[in-house]
Amino acid sequence: MNLKSQYASITMSQSIFHSTTPLNLESGESLPEFELVYSTYGQLNENKSNVVWVIHALTGDSNVSEWWSGLVGEDKFYDPADFFIVCANLLGSCYGSTSPLSINPSTGETYFYDFPHLSPRDLAVSLDRLRIHLELDEIHTLIGGSLGGQVGLEWAFSLGEKLKNAIILASTAKSSSWVKGFNEAQRMAIESDCTWGEKRLDAGKKGLEAARAIAMLSYRHPEDMEKKQSDTDEKLDNFRVSSYLRYQGQKLAKRFNALSYWTLTKAMDSHDLGRGRESAEKALEKISARVLTIGVNSDLLFLPHESRFISQHVQRGTYKEIQSTAGHDAFLIEFEQLAYFLKSFYLEENKPD
């Protein structure tokens, strides 16, 4: 192991932030207290100017070096030897942060279906509580895709001059009816599970499998699906794509739960940067950070023009587009294109020392 990798591995850690100050939510509800599990990689430099904060997508977690290994990690674009990288598991998720399966301190019982409605704005406020706890006065780069991009936009708006760069991938300033429709279809699948409504940890598990299958159709592109899941032999049943979708549903149901999925898709639906701020355009104009938005030419969920809209209305916006047949998920896998876009974006401003 060389000195650089030894240095990077020593400075990776996971912690829990516990806030005892009530979090008042957009819905009018509140969380009397909450916890966020977060991971950090690398070390702060002397003037704390090297902070990169990553916000995960719908079913992600705080272990960004695992699910975004092509972008974050030793010798990758965001290298812990250069940056202090932070990634927190979002409220409502099931990887250690406060969620529907947590204990409600007001009742002493599990929240289950009484967990309050969260919005991306609420999630951004909770992340800012963590930032203050970590004594970070400035964030060099905030980066997130899909739901993470929505939360990132809300946070970029509220951070103001405390944020230098925002990178928003395959996301939008307001959830479209198309996105809400896909999410509603998934929740209907969860509702159809006969265990949904029961107070048990695995409630809605089979429904979640069906929901994930629906989601996968929105994450992929027909061309990509045909290329990777078509059958080479003649058959009447048991098609390759059927096995693929069932496998993806079962895979998610093993690591996630229906209540968190329900909560976070509801949060995604409620995303509207312009709510209470005249309009999305007016809200975007108030973001002072440099903003790079990245769309995907084959994205059928968050359409490329929605990413371009963001870059057109912020004060200092740049738009780039990934060319891929992978659809929405391209922002998680097209690392060479992402690194190229990021290098171009940072040309005007050197990486922090």
- Per-residue pLDDT of 34-67, as tens digits, reads 999 999 999 999 999 999 999 999 999 999 999 9
pLDDT at position 277, please? 98
Q: Is 12 helix (H, G, I), strand (E, B) or coil?
A: strand
Regarding pTM above 0.85, the answer is yes
Residue 325, CA distances (Å) to 64, 299, 339 in order: 24, 9, 18
The residues assigned a catalytic role are 146, 299, 328
- How high is the pLDDT of residue 235? 86
Q: Over the stretch 246-265, which tens digit does the pLDDT of each residue have?
A: 999 999 999 999 999 999 99
Tell me the average pLDDT across 97-112: 97
Query: Of 5 and 144, which is predicted with more confidence?
Result: 144
Reply yes or no on whether the pLDDT at 219 is more than 70: yes
What is the predicted pLDDT for the residue at 4? 42
CA 208 to chain centre: 19
Condensed to tens digits (0 to 9), the pLDDT of residues 294-341 reads 999 999 999 999 999 999 999 999 999 999 999 999 999 999 999 999
Fold classification of 3-175+270-346 is Rossmann fold (3.40.50)
CA dist 223 and 38 (Å) reads 37
**Angle 152-153-156 from CA coordinates, rounded to 5°:** 85
Contact partners, residue 194, CB within 8 Å, separation at least 6: none
pLDDT score for 94: 97
DSSP H helices in the chain:
3-10, 64-67, 120-133, 147-159, 177-191, 205-219, 222-229, 240-255, 258-269, 280-285, 304-313, 335-346
Classify residue 149 by burial, with Cβ atoms within 10 Å: 0-12, 13-18, 19+.
Answer: buried
How many CB atoms within 10 Å of residue 173?
A: 25
Give the residue range(s) of CATH 1.10.1740.110 domains in the chain.
Answer: 179-267
Could you tell me what percent of the chain has a pLDDT over 90?
Answer: 90
| pLDDT computed for residue 233 by the predictor | 87
Write out the residue limits of the CATH 3.40.50.1820 domain(s) in the chain. Answer: 3-175+270-346
Q: How confident is the model at residue 69 (pLDDT cuts 50, 70, 90)?
A: very high
Q: What is the pLDDT of residue 1?
A: 31
Domain 179-267 has CATH 1.10.1740.110: yes
Residue 350 confidence (pLDDT): 57
